[in-house]
Structure 1
Amino acid sequence: MRIAFLTAPAGVEQIELTVPWRAVTDAGHKPVLVSTIPGDVRAFHHLDKADRFPVDEVVGEVAAESFGGLVLPGGVANPDFLRLNERAVSFVRGFFEQGRPVAAICHAPWTLIEADVVRGRVLTSWPSLRTDIRNAGGNWVDEQVVVCDHGPNKLITSRKPDDLKAFCEAFLEQFAKAKEAV
């Protein structure tokens, strides 16, 4: 199953991209790096520049229905950039419209807020997003990982890099269930 990893051209937290990517690969899925422009994306270790990763596909040229699920890595700049790009926001919204599982960690729920898909859902994030999530109609909780099944799809969220093991286990379980349902 193809799994989209949506990132901005710069600002993605490297460990929140690479650890889930490896988990998806190890589970037998095909991770696909999707960004707003072709080329590559610049990852960061907090505020320090890290590696570059090649973009596989560009939003606006690919649709949610060509993927079995979506992973939204964090980093402060990554979701802040994505939420200002209408094609990226529409791409995210498409996963919810298609009933496909979405996994978001750290600051990534900012993009979910912009896509207007958190209303009525329980989710977690980096603590500084709790007011934004509540203001968007979501129920923010401080838990390692949350799987919310409000609506036709599963939303899997986690707070931070320390939660990556639980995050990956939870979204892989939901991706497997989605694959069985197809």
Structure 2
Amino acid sequence: MTSATERCGSETETSASLPLEFEAFFLTNQLRMLKYAVSSGLDRSTAEEAVSDAFVALYTRWDHVLTLTNPVAYLYATVRHSVIDHFRRQRREQLLRARTEETAESEPIEEPDHSRIELLQLIDRLPLRQREIVTLLVAGLDYQEIADMLAIKLSTVRVHLHAARRRLAALLAE
């Protein structure tokens, strides 16, 4: 995966310009975000690109991120949006290739997983706390890790997940 240093400039240039807090945040969360992007349906190289894009976007708003109570949840949301953007970009590229193909015998275009994209968009419609918990669960954290990360009780995690599942079921029924 591209490191924060590679994405933001050369080693000597960024060692003085990247805040140490950002470097530490990047190193701490890079692998988890990559796993999350891959679990969302992207291939590894595209997932690496999506995560790199998310970290670059996060870096441009780093002063704001430092004021948040949960910057990791903000990072998850940024990666989720980056993943959705990559699905959209892939779809546009596929449509463009299909239009420019001259032969009718070209290989069929592989459709992106629209249900996964729709689910990510529905998760975005959840209240903030439910969205954070669902995102962390999808990323592979267990209930106790989520409780520890968000500084809430384990039972609160369960209550929010139950409410999120009910809300998602209602949104799917619309």
Query: What is the TM-score of this pair, normalised by structure 2?
Result: 0.28
Whichever structure has more strand as a proportion of its residues is: 1
Query: What is the TM-score of this pair, normalised by structure 1?
Result: 0.27
